[in-house]
Structure 1
Amino acid sequence: MTNQSSVQFEDSELASYLGSKNAQALEKAFGYTTVGDFLWHFPRRYVEVGELTPIAELPFDEHVTVVAQVVDVSQRQMHSRRGFIFEVTVSDELSSGGQELKMTFFNGYQARTDLTVGTIAMFSGKVGWYQDHLQLSQPDYAVLDEASQADPRPIPIYPASAKMPNKRIRDLMGLLLPHLSEDNLPEFLPEEVLGSHRYPERHRAYLERHAPREIKHAYIARQRFAFEEAFILQLSLAERSRQLGTQPAIARPRVAGRLAERFESQLPFDLTVDQLQVGDQIAADLSQAHPMHRLLQGEVGSGKTIVALRAILQVIDAGGQAALLAPTEVLAAQHYASIKKMLGTLAEPGLFGEGEGTGVALLTGSAKTAQRREALLGIASGETGLIIGTHALLGDQVQFAELGLVVVDEQHRFGVEQRDALRAKSGDALPHTLVMTATPIPRTVAMTVFGDLDTSTIKRLPAGRAPIQTHIVPMQLSGYRQRLYSRMTEEVSKGHQVYVVCPRITDTAAEQGVLLSTYDEPSGQTMSVEAMTEQLAGMPEFAGIRIEALHSQLDSVQKQQVMDSFARGEIDVLVSTTVIEVGVDVHNATLMVIMDAERFGISQLHQLRGRVGRGGLPGTCLMTTWLDADHASVSRLKTIESTMDGFELAEADLAERREGNILGVQQSGSQSSLKELSIIKDRTLIEQARNHVDALMKMPLWEEKYPRLVEIAGAWADESTKEFLNKN
């Protein structure tokens, strides 16, 4: 058959192979409508008879598999919340005397149906301890009929639902698999790529993934499909980058004697080697007649804004305008104030490109009508060379005279569609694009999430950046609690200022969404901004100390007023949520206190720590926790305590994140999202795929040699890549 047969087979309706009733059930349970949808419903794990452990020999806190018979069941209501616990007692034949083991299922509707007394099943889970006996909580299980008990092959455990349990999925997949063949599932990966890794061909990989002969075959098939996703993703990104690179842009080379040179001549410090090197890379990109697409990443306080401003002035000197897009109004206002201060008299309105000065405007959603009208007029006339703003810059009313550069700050908070929308305001020629992040990005994440961008990195900090001491404060020890508050008052008595960051705004139980951690949350009440502000205000040692709160429930004007007051030194202690995580630059702030620090991720903690020690004064970061020193979450705090290297911390952060949660953004819940590829676990595989794609695209006429691959990559880019990138 031709390649078209593959399209027809995988796009075929499930009813053609499973019947209308089963097809409707799969669509209702998972949204699947085609053969391809269902084939990509892969098992999440397997259990093997060879892994069996007698109940009498079960090791505590390890993952085990047992085959046992249900001897008793019971059900009880939960006290702390709605729902019930279904308890199952099983006994096995491997243990002398018929040892028993208890299992618990929370709201176990399906388990209540499947696991009746007398049922024999294979159970798999982690052994825990409850009320003086071992138990498995929420174990995976597979009910075994006589045929299954005699079959030594691994049993797949699928993502299931109450109305589509694991056994039914296995049975339906068993009906579909005999239809798979090399003819209707032809291979599309290049033969040399497939052979270099010894991956099975596509139809064979499906069979081994769903019905493996041995467990090793299932994992090889899983690797093949993960590589397939990595390869197609990298090819889609490379093709996007190539296409963008062929589109027209106006070259914006350096122009001698104008704003950029005058700005650099008045800087009171020398730029670092990294700043100069990255600046040269950007300047070279801007000089080309095709659009720059570059990612600029750097440590907290490494001087990315100066690098971006040099690029902005280069574009203005060459007759263009620049837009700086920030994720929040607080950060936009901070950029506006700091850039105006750095430019000094150079921030005087005038026609762009004339070298005398350039207007700098701020445009946010909360701008008053007169301010907004004035900003829009300056943008449209060209009098304003640099426009700083939030999503308001994407509005239809914003019309640029000649947009030459788009700078996006904190890139992972924006999607491709948003930066594309701003680029679309430049007319026929695309503007150059520079995206920045203060969150160091591991190589494989940069390759995957930002794979359509060239990358520049600033690692060295500018001279004079004060060191930051970081310490964990065990709050269960009263002496440490008292010392914490003393340190705060000591800093204020020296004329310095203090940040206190809390993981939530209020103490109300309904405010679940304010918790900012991406990790498992320990039990117990966490400190809120409201409670902390009230507590400090009521302590005698804080009498006369000016305390203020800052959080997302304040409107934009209130937030800006608080930040301005803190910047002017009118507030001594600012109690806040992570609204101050990025971009806030108050040189007199020397102490950062993070309450319940285990509630935050590694990258967040590093960002928060970077808010102090910015003005030549030594900074201190105190991370409080009520957890015991040997708690798993405290090890994360110890990692922060041990190093200031943001790139080392980024790798540690990536290793700890939950599956699919990259840069703090959940990437699951979609039919077209990545199914097998894990950016966390498959780093080597992603790099291999990137290398293969680079080699492929250097081959002459590769598109003609692999038309099916081009077709699949194009379709995948439209559906999966775009969505995946938009979420990041």
Structure 2
Amino acid sequence: MRPALLNPLFAPVTALPGVGPKMAPLYDTLLGEPGRPARVVDLLFHLPHGVIDRSARPRIADAPLDAIVTLEVRVDEHRPGPPNRRNAPYRVVVSDDSGDIALVFFNASARRMEALLPLGEKRWVSGRIEMWDGRRQMVHPDRVLDAAAVETMPPFEPVYGLTAGLGPRSIAKAAGAAVERIPTLPEWQDAAWLRSRKSPSFADALRALHHPSAAAALAPDAPARIRLAYDELLASQLALLLARQHMKKAAGRSQAGNGRIAERLIRSLPFGLTGAQTAAIADIRKDLAAPERMLRLLQGDVGSGKTVVALIAMATVVEAGRQAALMAPTEILARQHYEKLRPLAEAAGLRAALLTGRDKGAGRRAVLEGLASGDVDILFGTHALFQEDVAFSDLGMAVVDEQHRFGVHQRLALSRKGEAVDVLVMTATPIPRTLVLSYFGDMDVSVLREKPAGRQPIDTRVVSLDRLDEVVSGVGRAIASGARAYWVCPLVEENEELDVAAAQERFETLTQIFGARVGLVHGQMKGKDKDAAMAAFAAGETAILVATTVIEVGVDVPEATIIVIEHAERFGLAQLHQLRGRVGRGSGKSSCLLLYKAPLGEVAKARLETMRRTEDGFEIAEEDLKLRGEGDVLGTRQSGMPGFRLAVPEKHGELLQAARDDAKLVLATDPDLAGDRGQALRALLYLFERDAAIRLIRAG
């Protein structure tokens, strides 16, 4: 149960003055989630992103153009527009002892203007001054106030993200009311840490951000921002460590293999293992032999050989008399892992099978029977592996490929298909260090940074779309000499149907030039048609494969040496890096052409320059984090995995290790959060909606 103390913060925004039934849907659009209306806490965590400085109060003659100023003026004259011109502006001339200026209003009634700016009266007006027809004017002042009202006008006004229909003053007023509702909360931070950082309390930090005293008050390194970022990071690290504690507490099983199958596998490989692969295998074997459950992330750049590490790990589990499963996010990838690893597995005496949502009838039944009887050692498949009717004889290990979008609780759920299942999560998306701690803090991590011997560097070039004809001719010359090429079509406004239309159009254009040598693959094709298109390309029956980003992950055709990415400026860095990784997989010299449409924005230019400069996925990931932020880099925008609301990992990364160490210390001394600080930390977990972690404490 959430502590009653926090109830005022989890009340709907309609509990705030001025937020009635008419405004509620606008707040829901801005701050709510499907099925959950906006709450007071959502408004408190919707921090201003800037300020309007109304502190400058010059005389009219000294007021700068194009800057916001607040002027004390006398109302001299009203000049309504001619009666026969409905759209003519209404002008009010005002002055001080240094000169005059016209206030300009459109669609204004004389009655309203006379009430707002009575002749001969003193008023304060705030807004931006511009020149028109040689005279100074202020169009639609932001504020027109009398002497009493100007006393209450804040010199710095917060600027919030808005939605259509919701004005800045409404949201500022509601946020001010939300701040007043913050109850007296127990202090969950360590007293010494607060003193060393000169940190405000949680409530004072929110107050300082919603009522900023200057633009600098909102900076990521401002004390109030650091306080709230650290609160959120501590909640996140505490939740991850509680999940890990729960996982480790649940009895594991030692799965120490004798090495006979794994060694046979390693001897049969056509290449030697890299140092990083050898180290990762040693880590995994140590985890498997331990009596606790394994929960490990295997992070490797494109082409670093993760799947071989996973196969050797699965062989170790089979040596111990159990079964293993490898789950991939798409059918293409599951099938590809199966086809690539099955010959190696079978040569070493492992019995492998494939199960996807497409398998029906007798074939599916045979796989399920083999699984239940223990005749299948390793099962490859999609999330279909975890459906109700799939029963293993004795599942010892689940390998999850490319599911870095999984949250902690899905990871825990995966291991329920057997008794004390060890879990290995693989990703080919190099993840910056701060995000590994943020999202995978419950896991041990192995990193593969080396590429296997024989991998060729990829020549990456950035080419304007104006030279499309030259690119087509160049690809034509290459395929005439036996090369194979991917042609990736642009992302169209994150709309899969439009993406498919773009791919279809490019396919038709290239088919007119190269005939039946062009293939097409996209996400809306039936599974068997996709497989057929991929197989034709792999076999060399087609030489150019036009594709959407469906080929982004794991597609492996060593003979493909060219990739053309159209409208590369529309793709994120991680995605460009994944796509480029489709080539350079064999011994041939490979190239990547990034086609862009000019003119390029600064971020797009930086992105393409990074791609041209380096192939190091980890360097690219750090750069991507700077350019886009954590939600995009990890895909949390789409996945429902919790992103951060107050902490910005790319700006607050150095706080993360401190939060990690603090959380470890807390759980070492008070694993059930039962002491005074522990109770306060429970409130923190509920506040940042990491309360699932508290259920894990209860579950023991």
Q: Shorter chain as normaliser: what TM range?
A: 0.7 to 0.9
What is residue 233 of structure 2 aligned with on the other side? 230
Aligned-partner SS, 1:528: helix
Deviation of the 1:153 alpha carbon: 3.9
Aligned-partner SS, 2:186: coil
Deviation of the 1:264 alpha carbon: 1.3
Aligned-partner SS, 1:47: strand
What is residue 675 of structure 1 aligned with on the other side? 645
The correspondence for 2:430, drawn from 440, 452, 456, is 440
The correspondence for 1:430, drawn from 420, 432, 440, is 420
Closer/same/farther in 2, CA of residues 103 and 185 from structure 1, 3 Å limit: farther
Distance (Å, rounded) in 1 between the aligned partners of 2:308 and 2:464: 39
Q: Deviations over 1:156-186 (max 9, x none)?
A: 23444566533234444555655667xx233
Q: Which runs of 5+ in 2 are unaligned?
A: 82-88, 118-122, 131-135, 694-700
Aligned-partner SS, 1:411: coil
Closer/same/farther in 2, CA of residues 215 and 145 from structure 1, 3 Å limit: farther
Q: Deviations over 1:109-155 (max 9, x none)?
A: xxxx99x997977569xx99xxxxx9999x99677665563445422
What is residue 250 of structure 1 aligned with on the other side? 253
Closer/same/farther in 2, CA of residues 27 and 73 from structure 1, 3 Å limit: farther
Aligned-partner SS, 2:436: helix
Deviation of the 1:487 alpha carbon: 2.3
What is residue 568 of structure 1 aligned with on the other side? 539
What is residue 150 of structure 2 aligned with on the other side? 149
The correspondence for 1:345, drawn from 344, 347, 351, is 347
What is residue 351 of structure 2 aligned with on the other side? 359
Amino acid at match of 1:379: L
- Asked if 1 retains the 8 angstrom alpha-carbon contact of 2:491 and 2:570, the reply is no
What is residue 270 of structure 1 aligned with on the other side? 272
- Asked if 1 retains the 8 angstrom alpha-carbon contact of 2:370 and 2:376, the reply is yes
Deviation of the 1:414 alpha carbon: 3.6
Aligned-partner SS, 2:404: helix
What is residue 503 of structure 1 aligned with on the other side? 490
Matches within 5 A, 1:228-627: 228-257=231-260, 259-346=261-348, 357-426=349-418, 429-476=419-466, 480-504=467-491, 512-513=495-496, 528-539=502-513, 542=514, 546-627=517-598
Closer/same/farther in 2, CA of residues 390 and 192 from structure 1, 3 Å limit: same
- Asked if 1 retains the 8 angstrom alpha-carbon contact of 2:247 and 2:412, the reply is no
1:639 equivalent to 2:640? Answer no
Deviation of the 1:24 alpha carbon: 5.3
| Amino-acid identity (%) | 35
Deviation of the 1:630 alpha carbon: 7.2
Distance (Å, rounded) in 1 between the aligned partners of 2:612 and 2:92: 47
- Asked if 2 retains the 8 angstrom alpha-carbon contact of 1:73 and 1:117, the reply is no
Closer/same/farther in 2, CA of residues 538 and 240 from structure 1, 3 Å limit: same
Deviation of the 1:22 alpha carbon: 4.4
Distance (Å, rounded) in 2 between the aligned partners of 1:248 and 1:308: 23
Q: Deviations over 1:392-447 (max 9, x none)?
A: 11211111111111111112244445443331111xx3211111111100011111
Aligned-partner SS, 1:412: coil
673-682 vs 33-42, greater mean Cα deviation? 33-42
- Asked if 1 retains the 8 angstrom alpha-carbon contact of 2:637 and 2:643, the reply is no
- Asked if 2 retains the 8 angstrom alpha-carbon contact of 1:26 and 1:33, the reply is no
TM-score of the pair, normalised by structure 1:
0.79
Deviation of the 1:221 alpha carbon: 1.9
Deviation of the 1:233 alpha carbon: 0.9
What is residue 43 of structure 1 aligned with on the other side? 48
Deviation of the 1:293 alpha carbon: 0.8
Alignment root-mean-square deviation, CA: 4.3
Closer/same/farther in 2, CA of residues 424 and 94 from structure 1, 3 Å limit: farther
Amino acid at match of 1:712: A
Closer/same/farther in 2, CA of residues 588 and 44 from structure 1, 3 Å limit: same
Amino acid at match of 1:594: I
Closer/same/farther in 2, CA of residues 36 and 537 from structure 1, 3 Å limit: closer
What is residue 194 of structure 2 aligned with on the other side? 194
Deviation of the 1:484 alpha carbon: 1.2
The correspondence for 2:664, drawn from 678, 694, 699, is 694
Closer/same/farther in 2, CA of residues 389 and 203 from structure 1, 3 Å limit: same
TM-score of the pair, normalised by structure 2:
0.82
Amino acid at match of 2:508: E
- Asked if 2 retains the 8 angstrom alpha-carbon contact of 1:325 and 1:408, the reply is yes
Deviation of the 1:4 alpha carbon: 6.6
Deviation of the 1:388 alpha carbon: 0.8
Amino acid at match of 1:687: Q
Distance (Å, rounded) in 2 between the aligned partners of 1:496 and 1:377: 44
Closer/same/farther in 2, CA of residues 421 and 241 from structure 1, 3 Å limit: closer
295-304 vs 651-660, greater mean Cα deviation? 651-660
Amino acid at match of 1:404: G
Amino acid at match of 2:54: V
Distance (Å, rounded) in 2 between the aligned partners of 1:14 and 1:464: 60
- Asked if 2 retains the 8 angstrom alpha-carbon contact of 1:89 and 1:100, the reply is yes
Closer/same/farther in 2, CA of residues 190 and 658 from structure 1, 3 Å limit: closer
Distance (Å, rounded) in 2 between the aligned partners of 1:587 and 1:500: 16
Deviation of the 1:693 alpha carbon: 2.2
Deviation of the 1:682 alpha carbon: 2.3
Q: Deviations over 1:498-522 (max 9, x none)?
A: 11000258xxx9x844578xxxxxx
Distance (Å, rounded) in 2 between the aligned partners of 1:533 and 1:89: 60
Distance (Å, rounded) in 2 between the aligned partners of 1:223 and 1:386: 48
- Asked if 2 retains the 8 angstrom alpha-carbon contact of 1:366 and 1:557, the reply is no
Amino acid at match of 1:205: A
Distance (Å, rounded) in 1 between the aligned partners of 2:125 and 2:235: 39
Amino acid at match of 1:397: D
What is residue 85 of structure 2 aligned with on the other side? none
Closer/same/farther in 2, CA of residues 15 and 503 from structure 1, 3 Å limit: closer
What is residue 203 of structure 1 aligned with on the other side? 203
Aligned-partner SS, 1:680: helix
Amino acid at match of 1:536: L
- Asked if 2 retains the 8 angstrom alpha-carbon contact of 1:157 and 1:166, the reply is yes
Aligned-partner SS, 1:465: coil
Deviation of the 1:36 alpha carbon: 4.4
Distance (Å, rounded) in 2 between the aligned partners of 1:557 and 1:713: 50
Deviation of the 1:481 alpha carbon: 3.0
Deviation of the 1:207 alpha carbon: 2.7
Aligned-partner SS, 1:706: helix
What is residue 185 of structure 1 aligned with on the other side? 185
Closer/same/farther in 2, CA of residues 282 and 202 from structure 1, 3 Å limit: same
Q: Which runs of 5+ in 1 are unaligned?
A: 75-86, 129-133, 347-356, 517-525, 723-728
Closer/same/farther in 2, CA of residues 633 and 207 from structure 1, 3 Å limit: closer
Larger Rg: 2
Deviation of the 1:201 alpha carbon: 1.5
- Asked if 1 retains the 8 angstrom alpha-carbon contact of 2:483 and 2:559, the reply is yes
Deviation of the 1:617 alpha carbon: 1.0
Aligned-partner SS, 2:651: coil
Amino acid at match of 1:322: A
Q: Deviations over 1:82-111 (max 9, x none)?
A: xxxxx999999899977899999xxx9xxx
Distance (Å, rounded) in 1 between the aligned partners of 2:98 and 2:417: 77
